[in-house]
Structure 1
Amino acid sequence: MSIQSVDKTGAEATQDSTATDTASSLHSASQPGSADRGRSDNETVLSVQHVKKRIKRKMIIHDVTFDVRAGEIFGFLGPNGAGKTTTIRMLVDLIKPTEGTITVCGHNVNRDPEQALRHIGSIVENPEVYSYLTGWENLEHFARMQPDVDEQRIREVVELVRLDRRIHDKVSTYSLGMRQRLGIAQALLGRPKLLILDEPTNGLDPKGIKEMRAFIRLLASEGMAVFVSSHLLSEIQLLCDRVAIISRGKVLAVGGVRDLVETHSRMAVWQLEPYDQGLALLQKSPFVRIITNADELIDDSIVAASGDKAIFTEMDEEHIAGLVSQMIASGISVKGVTKINPTLEQLFLKMTEGEILE
């Protein structure tokens, strides 16, 4: 008998580790030891405290609170109309909050915007680049708007985003992924401590998404705080250390991705022989609900791998050991019990009562 936990996130994240390691090794020559610095630093870079936004008489954002720390990737997840864009606009001082405070590296965004914003690099919606210029000319143009950004810094960000082979080509010849990387290079020119990315993988093909994921991880490993807004739940689950789930202007949950899904896990799949006798025992238990629509509630790959004789249940983990003992005493062979953690998508749908991300 085996009692185990299925967490798709960990397995898929491991698949991406090779790409991340490759990206890290490319940059480590110029930044020795920086990866070790980043992850050990728990400095709060962005602090959002009790922020509200009222437009006319309608409250759009209700008491939003979260922190983003150095060296972490923080996901901001919600459907269209949930308040993601409004919140981001307040973070970069495009609009003012009605109440609450936003600080970046200790500087209040509303009272001291110049000092706060110098620590932020951002791409909100689409990167602002000039297609008729080369990538290098674009970076030169934006470098003139910032203090202390010289040609050496431009070379550094070009190498970091791995555009050195195409940087002198016109942007009109770039793929969407290359444009995204050029936009990030532009955002990194001023050496920000916080990078805000709005839908960074939007429109990218699977290869581009995987490369972007590895690149964002590299930035975080070097100590940068990365704030990622997205509606792609599977990408957020693979990419982020922590996440805030927002719906109708309210933050429903903030926490580590793994912690959130494990906390809300009440599903287990049983492999029993004889099947009918095992099913009958589970049906009689007051602690168990048999799941008949597993294909709607559980990841398709897990359902397929479990086989036709799997019994899907909803129950608290604390009752598993007692039920196993009952089955053994009844002559039922327990081939396996697997706890199933929900995907972030399933957790989101549960928390938002079925709201759809568009």
Structure 2
Amino acid sequence: MTDVLAVEAASVTKTFGSVTAVDDVTVQVAAGEVYGVLGPNGAGKTTLLRMLFGLIRPDQGEIRVFGRTWAEDGVGVLDGVAGFIESPRFYPYLTGRQNLEGLALLDGGVRPGLLEEVLEVVEMTDRADQKVGGYSYGMRQRLGVAASLLREPKLLVLDEPANGLDPAGIRDMRALVKRLASSGLTVLLSSHDMAEVEEICDNVTIMRRGTVAFHGTIAELRGMAPDPGHLLVTGDDDRAVAVADEHPEVSLGRDDEGRLLVSGPQPAVSAYVAGLVRADVPLLAFTPTQTPLEALFFMLTDGAEPQEVAR
């Protein structure tokens, strides 16, 4: 870790005509951490990353990368920085290896053996000599990470790296980011998936319509999360409601289809389910509706005024 922040966005604002895409956003990413920028589509995540890469300039505020700014250092801001915005693009008629070789030449060349190293890191050595046109979406995402690693960056920026992947691809991408983070690389990623951020990030900023709804650690976020909810299907809902009267910490409601929804502290919910069993209430289904963090994410991004936790 160093005293210089890997990324420091200070009161950054960006408008497009009458639309304010990013509104007075401040983000601090320490060197060596995995930082998540989370929010639904249209929250301003990609606009913030575009400003970091210098693809667009903020109307107000300033972004520093390892202490450097675009005004003072120009393209030198991106020394030690790599990544991609949205989905990486490659020549489909070339192999993965040929695409990487071309990118390396454009970037001034790489040290001997590095290309093979990055292919091994992203687990694509056995597919490197096949044409990219035959790659799955997940393979192209991994090739994008490989292309970024050719720069041997100190900061890796990934915009929705698991977006569009099937469950196996999502699992592989998360495992890859974890491996990279364990090497000491600073990773800044955007996502709309709370589970992805919870699993791999140290700290998170949640954005809502261009503003900050939350800053803080994953632990702080968990502390704000509501009680978990479950869908309950029984053979006798009237008796299930009667049993709930004996468990005041448990709340019962109904969904749009009239099915019972159970919420409350986990020990109280467990005691309620045990009470249903003792009362011989037939249990047909008991499944989680949302994880507590998913519920909190929707509260922060769809609900009333944003809540902020100071870092």
Using the size of structure 2 for normalisation, the TM-score is 0.78
**Tell me, which stretches of 5 or more residues in structure 2 are unaligned?**
230-241, 255-259, 277-289, 305-311
C-alpha distance in 2 between matches for 1:109 and 1:296:
52
Contact 1:261 1:342 in 2 (8 A): no
Counterpart for residue 353 of structure 1? 302
Q: Secondary structure at the match of 2:126?
A: coil
The alpha carbon displacement at 1:189 in A equals 1.0
Counterpart for residue 69 of structure 2? 108
The alpha carbon displacement at 1:354 in A equals 4.4
Say yes or no: does 1:169 pair with 2:130: yes
Contact 1:102 1:110 in 2 (8 A): no
The alpha carbon displacement at 1:182 in A equals 0.7
Contact 2:13 2:24 in 1 (8 A): yes
Work out which of the residue numbers 188, 193, 197 in structure 1 matches 2:158: 197
Counterpart for residue 57 of structure 2? 96
Contact 1:53 1:61 in 2 (8 A): yes
Contact 2:54 2:70 in 1 (8 A): yes
Counterpart for residue 121 of structure 1? 82
The alpha carbon displacement at 1:249 in A equals 0.8
C-alpha distance in 1 between matches for 2:104 and 2:261:
50
C-alpha distance in 2 between matches for 1:82 and 1:126:
18
Counterpart for residue 344 of structure 1? 293
C-alpha distance in 2 between matches for 1:91 and 1:171:
28
C-alpha distance in 1 between matches for 2:141 and 2:33:
20
Work out which of the residue numbers 253, 267, 292 in structure 1 matches 2:252: 292
Structure 1 residues 302, 44: closer, same or farther in 2, change over 3 A? farther
**Tell me, which stretches of 5 or more residues in structure 1 are unaligned?**
1-39, 283-287, 312-340
Counterpart for residue 229 of structure 1? 190
Structure 1 residues 204, 252: closer, same or farther in 2, change over 3 A? same
Structure 1 residues 292, 98: closer, same or farther in 2, change over 3 A? same
C-alpha distance in 2 between matches for 1:305 and 1:118:
53
Q: Secondary structure at the match of 1:89?
A: helix
Can you list the C-alpha shifts for 1:226-273, whole angstroms capped at 9, x where unaligned? 1111112222222222111001110111111122121x146489xxxx
Counterpart for residue 33 of structure 2? 72
The alpha carbon displacement at 1:291 in A equals 2.4
User: Superposition pairs for residues 247-286 of structure 1, below 5 Å?
Assistant: 247-262=208-223, 264-265=224-225, 267=227, 278-279=246-247, 282=248
Using the size of structure 1 for normalisation, the TM-score is 0.68
The alpha carbon displacement at 1:54 in A equals 2.5
Structure 1: which 4+ aligned runs deviate by more than 4 Å? 40-43, 274-278, 294-299, 301-307
C-alpha distance in 2 between matches for 1:102 and 1:127:
23
Contact 1:121 1:195 in 2 (8 A): yes
Contact 1:76 1:244 in 2 (8 A): yes
Q: Secondary structure at the match of 1:196?
A: strand
C-alpha distance in 2 between matches for 1:202 and 1:277:
44
User: Superposition pairs for residues 54-65 of structure 1, below 5 Å?
Assistant: 54-65=15-26
Q: Secondary structure at the match of 1:162?
A: coil
Counterpart for residue 209 of structure 1? 170
Can you list the C-alpha shifts for 1:268-298, whole angstroms capped at 9, x where unaligned? 89xxxx967744xx4xxxxx7x522387685
Q: Secondary structure at the match of 1:293?
A: strand
C-alpha distance in 1 between matches for 2:139 and 2:117:
16
C-alpha distance in 2 between matches for 1:176 and 1:268:
34
